[in-house]
A and B are shown apart, each in its own frame.
Chain A
Amino acid sequence: MPAMVSAAQPVQRSFNPYTENGGTILAIAGADFSVIAGDTRQSEGYSIQTRYAPKVFRLTDKAVLAVNGFAADGNMFVKKVRQRLEWYRHAHAKDMPIRAIARLIQTMLYARRFFPFYVYNILGGIEEDGTGAVYSFDLLIYFKNQTPAPGTAFPKHLPLSTVLPLVIDSFTSATERHIEVGDGLEIYIVLSKGSTALQSLQTIRGIQELTATNDGERVFVIRRELKKD
Chain B
Amino acid sequence: MDHFPTNWGRPRNDAFDAYGTYPIHQRPQNGPKDAFVDGVQRTQQPIVTGTSVLAIKFKDGIMMAADTLASYGSLARFKDVQRLFPVGDNTVIGAGGDMSDFQHIQTLLDGLTIDEFTAQDGHTLGPAEIHEYLAQVMYARRSKMNPLWNALLVGGVKDGKKFLAFVDLLGTTYSASTLATGYGAHIAQPLLRKAVEGYENVLTEEQALKIIETNMKYQVAIITEEGVRISESKTLDTHWSFAEGIRGYGAQAQ
Query: In the complex, what's the smallest C-beta–C-beta distance from A79 to chain B, in angstroms?
Result: 10
B114 at interface, CB cutoff 8 A? no
A residues 9-40 touching B (CB-CB < 8 Å): 12-15, 17-19, 21
Asked whether any CB of chain B lies closer than 8 Å to the CB of A53, the reply is yes
Residues in A neighbouring B170, C-beta threshold 8 A? 17-19, 70, 72
Chain A residues in 8 Å Cβ range of B139:
72, 76
Question: Which residues of A lie under 8 Å from residue B42 when comparing CB positions?
Answer: 15
Q: Which residues of the other chain, A, contact B231 by a CB distance below 8 angstroms?
A: none
Residues on B with C-beta less than 8 A from A21 are 172
Hey, which chain B residues are within 8 Å of A72, CB to CB? 139, 142, 170-173
Determine whether the beta carbon of B189 is less than 8 Å from that of A47: yes
Q: How many residues of B contact A (CB 8 A)?
A: 20
A188 to B38, CA, bound (A): 50
Closest to B178 in A: A50
Query: A17 to B174, Cβ gap below 8 A?
Result: no
Q: Does A83 contact B (CB under 8 A)?
A: no
State the Cβ distance, B199 to closest chain A Cβ, in Å. Answer: 15
Interface residues of B in 143-174 (CB under 8 A from A): 143, 145, 147, 166, 170-174
B185 touches A15 (CB 8 A): no
Q: Are B176 and A17 in contact (CB under 8 A)?
A: no
| Among A13, A17, A18, contact of B45 (Cβ-Cβ < 8 Å) | A13
Shortest Cβ distance from A2 into chain B, in angstroms?
A: 26
Q: List chain B residues, Cβ under 8 A from A71.
A: 172-174
Given the known inter-chain contacts A13-B44, A15-B147, please indicate yes or no for A47 contacting B186, CB distance below 8 A: yes
Interface of A is mostly: loop
Answer yes or no: A89 CB below 8 A from chain B CBs: no
Complex contacts, B45 vs chain A, CB 8 Å: 13
Q: Which residue of A lies closest to B136 (CB)?
A: A76
The answer, among A12, A18, A115, for a CB contact under 8 Å with B44, is: A12
The 0/1 profile, CB within 8 Å of B marked 1, for residues 42-72 of chain A is 1010010111110000000000000000111
Task: Assess whether A52 is in contact with B186, with CB atoms less than 8 Å apart.
Answer: no
A47 and B185 form a contact (CB under 8 A): yes
Instruction: Kindly state the separation between the CA atoms of A72 and B44 in the bound complex, as whole angstroms.
Output: 20
- Interface contact B172-A19, CB-CB below 8 Å: yes
The answer to whether B235 has its CB under 8 Å from any CB of chain A is no
Query: Chain A's nearest CB lies how many Å from the CB of B151?
Result: 11
Contacts of B143 in A (CB 8 A): 17, 115
Give B residues with C-beta under 8 Å from A.
42-45, 139, 142-143, 145, 147, 166, 170-176, 185-186, 189
Interface residues of A (CB under 8 A from B): 12-15, 17-19, 21, 42, 44, 47, 49-53, 70-72, 75-76, 115
**Sampled A-B contacts (28; CB under 8 Å):** A12-B44, A15-B43, A15-B145, A15-B147, A17-B147, A18-B170, A21-B172, A42-B174, A44-B172, A47-B185, A47-B186, A47-B189, A49-B166, A49-B172, A49-B174, A49-B176, A50-B174, A52-B176, A53-B174, A70-B170, A71-B172, A71-B174, A72-B139, A72-B170, A72-B172, A72-B173, A76-B171, A115-B143
